[in-house]
Amino acid sequence: MDQFLNLRKRVLDYSNKDMNLRLERDDQVYIAVVDIPTSSGVVGNEYMTLAMVFGLNCHLYTSSGSIGTELEKDTRVMRAMQSLLVSSHQVLDSMELAESTEFKASASRRVFLKTRRGIYCKELDDSKESSFLNMMIDNVLRCIGESK
């Protein structure tokens, strides 16, 4: 689980300056990290994290230690990821600025969206904003599944 947490933290610590990305607006989302509980019966494989960095990469980490990298090389995954990152600013008003980005076990998906203003967090629920995010996340995951 240490590797899982370290990889997740590295993505959240990455800045637009590190990637030489000039942001046009304070609410422009350039990194998204989604913690997803899984229904795996395998001990130690209870979570996966989908990590997306605008224009660069899409990775999938599991708490059991497996890592999926270079997922963005499939153009469908890249398009789905970019769509999520470009569209997600629409739900920032329903999110809170994160006091902490530490991993926390949850029965629901937890989404972290990084902007120039800071990192926003939301535990997904039955709201329309959560439904929108779930739809965008599911699209990325579907494209990843189809690319294998």
- Percent of residues, the chain, with pLDDT higher than 90: 78
pLDDT given at position 16: 92
pLDDT given at position 148: 67
pLDDT given at position 64: 82
Number of domains in the chain: 1
Q: Could you tell me the pTM of the whole model?
A: 0.93
**Digit-coded pLDDT (tens) for 42-95:** 455 588 999 999 988 999 998 888 889 999 999 999 999 999 999 999 999 999
- Expressed as residue numbers, the domain containing 140 is 2-147
Q: Degrees (nearest 5) of the Cα angle 35, 43, 139?
A: 30
Helix (H, G, I), strand (E, B) or coil at 83: helix
